[in-house]
Amino acid sequence: MGAFWRRRTSPQRLALGFAAYALIGALLLMLPISTHERLGVLDHVFQSVSAVSTTGLTTVSVGDRYTLFGQVVLLMLIQVGGIGFMTLSSVLILARGRSLDESRLGVLRAGFSMPHYFRMQDFLVQVVVFTLVCEMVGAGVLWWRLSALGVEGALWSAIFHSVSAFATAGFSLNATSMEAYAGDWVINVTLGVLCYLGAIGFIVVQDVWYSVRLRERMMTFTSKTILWMTLVLFAGGTVLLYALDPSLRAMPTGQGLMAAAFQAMSASTTAGFNTVPIGAMAAPALVVLMVLMLIGASPSGTGGGLKTTGVSAILGNLWSVLRGRAEVAWLGYEVPLARVLVAFATASLYLLLLMGGVLLLTITEKRDFLPVVFEAASAIGTVGLSMGITGELSAAGKVIIIVLMFAGRVGPVTIGLALVRPAKDRGLLADDLAV
């Protein structure tokens, strides 16, 4: 087994690692102590892949069908999927005073989409500490608020939703996600902050920390791009959702704007929580959500999607072509051609997978076109928002969504490289995906 693992490239190890954890999770969920009543094997596999991919699509209600043990299993899978399946084990190796070998470093760089010049050992420790601090603070705030609201099992609910939010997983113990708290600004803001802290990426957090600590401008081009794109997507998404959806405008102004902002946040961070019924939203608003879901979060973070940096490289290329410029520029910086090529390759593979998934779902599911497209976009974007058809998918439909969720989490380019890339590992993912 060791020889087999050593012969694999970093993308292959990344894909195999996530698949192994999803399989282990499914087997644990199949145990009698995991559920209140018997569920099908495919349902357990679906939930496990959804958790590891931090998607949040579920075929059954997690809070109603799974026991505390089953919920803990799902939460561990969410944590592993959020910060990377090799991160915790690598930190334990470092804690024992040992160094990380090159094969492990290659997988970690591929998983985080990190440049080669980052010192991985220091970065991993910072990732784990930052993750635990954010989740503990978030859980504390949610516990206080849920207790004040008289919610049963407030402590466990707070822990579960805090971890799920930071990992941008969107799993909820509530059958209707966070709809019961649509008007509660404390819960909305807390979940939103946790989702953004996870989605913007650990590289940005590191840059901001050093800028504050050293009182110098340490923001890299990547961090500036991520923060600018994140702000534009949030503000633009909020305005468009509120303007295009009558149900949001029918609410009191403050609550309607908060709901629009929450859904823009949830889609753009690929978290997948919802405070309003997604299936009841107007078609134009659903299109906005799909665009936000496909663009997604940022490199080295917990979210999915095309990534803000990749989209910025594509936009920079289009703007340069329209202006007749030979070089690609964004925010005053020249973008290397290799990164532009990777961005277009990623977008192309995403669209091909999305179209293939939609085509197959239209064959297996007898449903209207929009819910099918939305479900597929949510799956490959690892978002978890749904118009309500997940639990009613056929066996074939569930398999299609499982494949899309897995591909979305590992990354279409990583999947492609794992299948066709030569044995020599050139580090393209590590150096060029983080635009």
Which of 6-20, 91-105, 417-431 has the highest average model confidence (pLDDT)? Answer: 6-20
CB atoms within 10 A of CB 176: 12
Alpha-carbon distances of 61 from 35, 47, 274, 390, 396, rounded to whole Å: 11, 10, 15, 11, 20
Rounded Cα–Cα distance for residues 209 and 203 (Å): 10
What's at 10, amino acid-wise?
Answer: S
Tokens of 324: 């007749």
The proportion of the chain whose per-residue pLDDT surpasses 90, expressed as a percent, equals 56
Q: What is the mean pLDDT of residues 238-251?
A: 96
Domains and CATH numbers, the chain: 308-432 (1.10.287)
Tokens of 357: 């998934």
Rounded Cα–Cα distance for residues 201 and 224 (Å): 12
Whether 233 contacts 263, CB under 8 Å: no
Question: What pLDDT sits at residue 415?
Answer: 57
Rounded Cα–Cα distance for residues 396 and 381 (Å): 20
Question: What pLDDT sits at residue 435?
Answer: 40
Whether 153 contacts 144, CB under 8 Å: no
Tokens of 21: 């954890």
Rounded Cα–Cα distance for residues 403 and 379 (Å): 9
Rounded Cα–Cα distance for residues 273 and 282 (Å): 18
Q: How far is CA 194 from the centre of its chain?
A: 13
| Four-point Cα dihedral 327, 208, 138, 61, nearest 10 | 10
Q: What is the mean pLDDT of residues 307-318?
A: 89
Work out the pLDDT band at 84, boundaries 50, 70, 90.
Answer: low
Predicted TM-score (pTM) of the model is: 0.88
Rounded Cα–Cα distance for residues 383 and 278 (Å): 13
Buried b (16+ CB within 10 A) or exposed e, 118-140: bebbebbeebbebbeebbeebbe
Residue 423 has pLDDT above 50, yes or no: no
| CB proximity list for 375: less than 8 A, separation 6 or greater | 57, 361, 386, 387, 389, 390, 393, 401
